[in-house]
Structure 1
Amino acid sequence: MAEKLLNDPINSTETIAQAQKDMRTGYANGSVGIIVSGLMWLISATVSHLYSTQNAVWTLLIGGTLIHPVSILLYKIMGLRGNHTKGNPLGNLAMEGTFFMILCLPLAYGLSLLHAEWFFQGMLLIIGGRYLTFSSLYGIRLYWILGAALAVAAYFLFYSKASSFGTLATGSLIEISFGIFMFVSFRKKKI
Structure 2
Amino acid sequence: MNGAAGVLVSGLVWAVAALLAATSSLFHGQVALLIGGMFIFPLSIVLCKLCKHSGQHAKTNGLAALAIESTIIMLIGIVLAIAVGWYRADWFFPAMLVVIGSRYLLFQSLYGLRRYWLLGGLLCGLGIAAGALVLLSANLFPPSLVAALGALAEILFALLTFRSSEY
- Corresponding residue for 1:170? 149
Encode CA deviations 1:78-130: one digit per residue, 9 max, x unaligned.
11111124574222001101111011111100111122121110010011110
Unaligned runs of 5+ in 1: 1-27
- In structure 2, runs of 5+ residues without a counterpart are 135-140
Percent identity between matched residues is 39
Instruction: Please give the TM-score of this superposition, normalised by the length of structure 1.
Output: 0.81
**Mapping for residues 66-145 of structure 1, pairs under 5 Å:** 66-86=39-59, 88-145=61-118
Aligned length: 161
Note closer, same or farther for the CA distance 1:85–1:152 as it changes in structure 2 (3 Å cut): closer
TM-score (norm 2): 0.92
C-alpha spacing 1:70/1:51, structure 2 compared with 1 (3 Å): same
State how far apart, in whole Å, the 1-side matches of 2:147 and 2:3 are.
21
d(CA) in 2 for partners of 1:116, 1:51? 15
For the residue of structure 2 that corresponds to 1:81, the secondary structure is coil
Which has more radius of gyration?
A: 1
Deviates more, 1:87-96 or 1:48-57: 87-96
| Correspondent of 1:152 among 120, 125, 136 | 125
Residue 148 of structure 2 aligns with an amino acid whose one-letter code is: A
Where do 1:51-62 residues align within 5 Å?
51-62=24-35
The CA deviation string for residues 35-79 of structure 1, in whole angstroms up to 9 with x for no partner, is: 100000000011111211111111100000000000000110111
CA RMSD of aligned residues (A): 1.2
Aligned partners of 1:172 and 1:42: how far apart in 2?
5
Contact in 1 for aligned 2:49/2:55 (Cα 8 Å): yes
